[in-house]
Chain A
Amino acid sequence: MKTTRRQFIKIAGASTAGMAIAGSVLGSVQKVGEAAHVKKDMLDSELTRTPTYCEVCFWKCAAWVYKDKEGNIKKLIGNDEDQHARGKLCPRGTGGLGMYEDEDRLKKPLIRRTDANGKQYYEEAEWDVALDYIANKMNSIKKDYGKENMALFVHGAPAKHFEYLFKAFGNENHAEPAYAQCAGPREAGFFATFGSGVGSPEPADMQNSKCIVFIGNHIGENMHNSFVQEVSTAIDNEAKIIVVDPRLSTVASKATHWLAIKPGTDMALLLSWMHVLIYDNIYDKEYIDKYAFGFEELKAHVANYTPEWAAGITTINPELIRKSAHTMAAASPASVIHPGRHTTWYGDDTQRERAMAMINALLGAYGRRGGMYMGVKQKLPKYPVPAFPHPHWSWQDITKPKFKNAAVGLTNVLIEASLPEFDKKHQIKGWFIAGTSVINTIPDRIKMFKAIENQELIVVVDTMPMEMTGYADVVLPESTYLERHDYSRAGKNRVAQVAFRMPAVEAKYDSKPAWWMAKELGHRLGLEKYYPWKNLEEVLDWQFKQVGSSLEEMKKIGVKTFPSTEPIYLLPGEDYEFNTNTGKIELYSTDFAEKGYDAMPKFTRHESPDPGFYHLVYGRAPMHTFGRTQNNPYLYDLYETNSIWINPRTAKLWGIENNSNIWLKNQDGVISEFSTKARLTERIRPDSIYMVHGFGHTNKKLSRARGRGINDIPLITKIKIDPIMGGTGMRNNFVTFILEEPSREEIIAAADWKANAAKKKEASENKKKETEKKSEAKKEHTKETHTKEEAKS
């Protein structure tokens, strides 16, 4: 796999930047030493604080940034008033300071240049130069292809600023890995059932639940702050916890029932749970009669999906299946299956999520205390600007014909559209990326590199030299969340709240906030009319004033709670109209039936690994978010590398000992770039291995994270696309162990697995043809002899 036009450039290769890095390392070491020498205890009374909400993950907990008299950030503490934080931050939020302090941060805008020998390098540039370069390129793509022929890939708070810019430019091709590689299926599955998606935070009313079910959702390892707090409350309340996971996850260790399921068979379990709930007559009959559509169809549909049937598929004892269903029903309606978050697993993910939604319906959970609440929010009005221009085409035109229920742009479809063979009209020729290192987020690297090659402009906005920055034409250093304003957090929750972010300190280096970059680009693209304000503060102040607050007030309180008259639970006997075709909870989806999808979920058998291969199960560690925190000095200190969890019985077959160094190879022959330690543990099924996602960074400029652990993304080569919403199912991959260090050449050659597979196929076809020829010849020969013999007789 070689990129020709676009050589990977390790950022900060320029000598001046190199010196700056060395200087700051020294600085930070001295700081720690000095502080320790003085041995001065931190007194809160001597500190001042400013509000923010966290950006280390998507939970966006509101926090206070504490500073000393010199203006140095000392610590980050959760805001007591905030529903997401409840006065506490998780380890990542507490260690969020590391994002600001990290000496490996991007420091100056960089522009890709080519020297006389054809070697590409990054040249440090002033902002004006870098922004002019981008605007010129965007205008030339607009002229040569169309303003629609660019894609925007985003994650987190910078998203809004660039989405706004792109809409003003007349482009709606925006996508987030957060949908097609993550939460998309649950949105589609729950929407089809309740006429309402899930959203973030998921409205599972866990603090009031008497029974909580997690399907592969390893809460506590995915450190969604208020949720971890709610589960903790549920434990205090002696709620039952049911966990379905091939691994004794943290939450499984706290469960009443742990169902150590064979990976890929969740649908069988869910169907059999529905069977038990219906045929043991323990579902919420009154609720279903009042609110649901298609119960009789469902009853007939699950008639044969008995626990005994499911047991043979899932390897779960049928009695445990029955018992766990009864546990859920006994707690109903304060009983909930959590929708999960990363749900792009096997390709039939929307249907699996729908089955979960349907069980929530059978439990009478939706709109009930302890089940799922109906969130409320405070809408912040948009600052008045002229209407955005209408694009001639958008992501919908290239997505909807195939994936009818995709609710937003799909990264994988836009990448497909970025390939040179895609139809010319809709071909993407430029990428703008902010806050996501797409090569480590979206599987199928071969396709990714082909798409990268075909781009005339790639802009990457980040705070860190993530791998994707090495493929950019222009890299823009973003200020961290502790140094910038952003739009407010105002999502749905139990009560309507708005959380405010402001800079606690001046931006380090030559970094800039995303809103400033977008505005500056807007001016260069002739879109001044969409930027009538001086700075984001002005917009925020205007927005706050529309809802009876102000910038001044928000600076003091950080989080404002707004009164809401909307109830978050259904009222007893309420005639509620759901946002579906029938106005009911659809156990039988009329929308799916109309569009040619299964109206009720069916069981599909997914592949099992060949002998010597194991299910590749990946997940999270509480100290890290995706692949973006591994270089954070505080979080690195807590968890510097991942390990490969292996059941001791499996390890014995291979002679692998605890802490043995191992490499992984997947079913397509792809070998992991680095090795990591084996972790022998009884906490996992013998047919599966587990690893924490986000490790194995390759960019040397991530001085701590580089070379630490194994990256799961390159090992995910078999992708099953969800036919309903287009998400990329990534759990169909299997790995085996390599115990001796493979050579670099071997690893590089193995990465080109598509070409290798084609060669192998060709070779085997040739061999087959030869054998066929031989056997034909042999047949002819026998025939001849036979005829001769016949003639003789």
Chain B
Amino acid sequence: MRYAMAMDTRKCVGCSDCVVACQTENNVPLGFCRDWIVEAVKGTYPDTVQMHFKSERCMHCENTPCVRTCPTGASHVIEGGIVKVTHDECIGCGACIESCPYDARYVHPEGYVDKCTFCDHRLEQGLNTACVDVCPTSCLIFGDLDDPKSDVSIILKEKDWYVLAPEAGTNPQLYFLK
């Protein structure tokens, strides 16, 4: 099993619904977030200006610098390639935060490091992640890459995509559709 997410930049309107849904689902304290929106603008007015939004979160990389740098073993990978942090084992040293090329982690006010879990507690209940379920544009597609019939497998076969910071060699599992 290899969980992955595709994000369709053509459809996203940057509304941040994914952010609020995650906050309420996962008790993320106000002022912090596990997922966020990036607005990318290029070109100049009027002829070449272009814009698109990206909904970003932990990329649940195959090659995980955050897990390698963690001195206590709090950061670890579970079934399906989901990167998690065991809060009780985390000392909040921030090594993982430094090593993450995507700035996907934050220090929770309680002192531990927190991040996206691909809503593994919802996956266990047979549900989708909260961000995927809430998105009004359906621009987030989640599933198992090992299953060729999953939505995410199909869409990644059909569409052109890219990943962020490929040069970091992390093999991230959040794919952006062009």
Which residues of B have CB within 8 Å of A248? 45, 49-51
CB pair B110–A36 under 8 Å, yes or no, is yes
Chain A interface residue count, CB cutoff 8 Å, equals 57
Chain B: how many interface residues by the 8 Å CB criterion? 43
- Cβ–Cβ contact B136 & A90, under 8 A: yes
A130 CA / B130 CA spacing, docked (Å):
44
- For residue B17, CB closer than 8 A to chain A, the reply is yes
Residue interface bits A628-646, CB-to-B below 8 A is 1, else 0 = 0000011101110000000
B149 within 8 A of A: no
Residues of B within 8 A of A91 (CB): 15-17, 19-20
Pick the contact of B16: A45, A232, A623 (CB < 8 A). Answer: A623
- Given A74-B24, A88-B136, A97-B24; A253-B51 close (CB under 8 Å): yes
Closest B residue by C-beta to A35: B27
**Are A685 and B24 interface neighbours, CB within 8 A?**
no
Residue interface mask B116-159, A partner, CB < 8 A = 1? 00000110010100000111111100000000000000000000
Shortest CB distance B160–A (Å): 15
Q: Which residues of A lie under 8 Å from residue B135 when comparing CB positions?
A: 88
Given A254-B10, A682-B41, check contact A37 B17 (CB 8 Å).
no
Q: How far is the CA of A637 from the CA of B32 in the complex (A)?
A: 9
1/0 per position for B7-18, CB-CB distance to A under 8 A?
Answer: 000110111110
Contact across chains for A41 and B17 when beta carbons are under 8 A apart: no
Counting CB contacts under 8 A, is A26 at the interface?
no
Beta-carbon contact of B125 and A43 below 8 Å? yes
CB of B76 within 8 Å of the partner chain: no
**Does B25 sit at the interface, judged by CB under 8 A?**
yes
Q: Which secondary structure dominates chain B's binding surface? A: loop
Chain A facing B: main interface SS:
mixed
Within 8 A of A (CB), among B78-133: 87, 108-110, 121-122, 125, 127, 133
Q: B154 → chain A, closest Cβ, in Å? A: 13
Residues of chain B within 8 A of A635, CB atoms compared:
20
In the bound assembly, the distance between CA atoms of A78 and B23 in angstroms comes to 16
Residues 674-705 of A at the B interface (beta carbon under 8 Å) = 681-686
Task: Name B19-78 residues within 8 Å CB distance of A.
Answer: 19-21, 23-27, 29-31, 41, 43-46, 49-53
Distance of A44 from chain B, by nearest CB (Å): 6
Asked whether, in the complex, the Cβ of B110 is within 8 Å of the Cβ of A37, the reply is yes
B14 cross-chain contacts in A, Cβ below 8 A: 220, 250, 622
A225: Cβ under 8 A from any B Cβ: yes
- With A36-B108, A36-B109 known as contacts, the answer to whether A253 contacts B52 (CB < 8 A) is yes
Once the chains are docked, how many angstroms separate the CA of A666 from the CA of B19?
Answer: 36
Contacts of B27 in A (CB 8 A): 32, 35-36, 42
Chain A residues near B50 (CB-CB < 8 A): 248, 253
Given contacts A39-B87, A639-B16, contact A33 B109 (CB under 8 A): yes
Contact digits for A224-257, partner B, Cβ 8 Å, 1 yes 0 no: 0100110110011000000000001011011000
**Does residue A94 face the partner (Cβ distance < 8 Å to B)?**
yes
The residue of chain A having its C-beta at the shortest distance from the C-beta of B36 within the complex is A638
Most chain A CB within a 10 A radius of its CB, from B27, B50, B121? B27
Please pick, from A36, A253, A623, the residue contacting B29 in the complex, using a CB distance under 8 A. A36
Contact (A232, B30) CB under 8 Å given A248-B49, A622-B16: no
Distance in angstroms between the alpha carbons of A229 and B138 in the assembled complex: 8
- Which of chain A's residues have a CB closer than 8 A to the CB of B10? 235, 254
- Among the listed B31, B49, B125, B133, which residue makes an inter-chain contact with A88, where contact means beta carbons less than 8 Å apart? B133
Hey, which chain A residues are within 8 Å of B51, CB to CB? 248, 250, 253, 683
- With A and B bound together, what is the CA distance between A10 and B7 in angstroms? 46
**Closest residue to B27 on the A side, CB-wise?**
A35
A310 at the interface (CB under 8 A from B): no
Closest chain-A Cβ to B175's Cβ sits at a distance in Å of 17
Interface string of A259-291 (1 = CB under 8 A from B): 010000000000000000000000000000000
With contact pairs A248-B51, A253-B50 given, residues A94 and B134 touching in the complex (Cβ less than 8 Å)? yes
- Kindly state whether residue A89 has any CB partner on chain B within 8 Å: yes
Contact A75 B136 (CB under 8 A): no
Bound CA–CA A638/B36 (angstroms): 9
Beta-carbon contact of B20 and A634 below 8 Å: yes
- Tell me, in angstroms, the Cα distance from A488 to B35 when the chains sit together: 35
> In the complex the two chains form, what is the Cα distance from A220 to B137 in whole Å?
9
| CB pair A685 B136 closer than 8 Å | no
Q: Smallest Cβ distance from A75 to chain B, in angstroms?
A: 5
User: How far does the alpha carbon of A76 sit from the alpha carbon of B16 in the complex, in Å?
Assistant: 15
- Evaluate contact between A229 and B137: CB separation under 8 angstroms: yes
Query: For window 6-44 of chain A, which residues contact chain B by CB distance below 8 Å?
Result: 32-33, 35-37, 39, 41-44
In the bound complex, do residue B121 and residue A43 qualify as a contact, i.e. CB atoms below 8 Å apart?
yes
Check B30–A637 contact: CB distance below 8 A: yes
Give Cα A682–Cα B15 distance, bound, in whole angstroms. Answer: 20
Q: How far is the CA of A78 from the CA of B130 in the complex (A)?
A: 12
Cβ of A457 within 8 Å of any chain B Cβ, yes or no, is no
Q: How far is the CA of A250 from the CA of B52 in the complex (A)?
A: 8
The reply to whether A638 and B136 contact each other, CB–CB distance below 8 Å, is no
Contact of B17 (CB < 8 Å), options: A43, A89, A97:
A89
Minimum CB distance partner of A637 in chain B: B30
Task: Provide the residues of chain A in CB contact with B53, threshold 8 Å.
Answer: 250
Contacting pair A88 B30 (CB below 8 A): no
Nearest-Cβ distance from residue A411 to partner chain B, whole angstroms: 29
Q: Quick check: is A223 within 8 A (CB to CB) of the other chain?
A: yes
Specify the chain B residue showing the minimal Cβ separation from A636: B30
CA–CA, A248 to B53, complex, Å?
A: 13
User: Quick one: given A37-B110, A223-B15, A683-B41, are A228 and B125 in contact (CB under 8 Å)?
Assistant: no
In the assembled complex, the Cα of A362 lies from the Cα of B44 at a distance in Å of: 35
A33 to B31: give the CA distance in the assembly, Å. 13
Q: How far is the CB of A458 from chain B (nearest CB, A)?
A: 34
Task: Determine if A480 is an interface residue (Cβ-Cβ < 8 Å).
Answer: no
Chain A residues with Cβ below 8 Å from B21 are 75, 94
If A219-B13, A228-B15, A250-B14 are given as contacts, then 10 extra A-B residue pairs at C-beta distance below 8 Å, sorted by A number, are A42-B27, A76-B24, A89-B136, A90-B15, A225-B136, A229-B136, A229-B137, A248-B50, A622-B17, A623-B15
Interchain Cβ contacts under 8 Å between A and B, 20 examples: A36-B109, A43-B121, A74-B24, A77-B133, A87-B133, A88-B134, A90-B136, A91-B15, A91-B20, A228-B13, A229-B136, A232-B137, A232-B139, A236-B11, A250-B13, A250-B53, A634-B23, A634-B30, A637-B31, A638-B16
List chain B positions with a Cβ less than 8 A from chain A.
10-11, 13-17, 19-21, 23-27, 29-31, 41, 43-46, 49-53, 87, 108-110, 121-122, 125, 127, 133-139
Give 4 closest A-B pairs by Cβ, nearest first: A220-B13, A41-B121, A622-B15, A232-B137
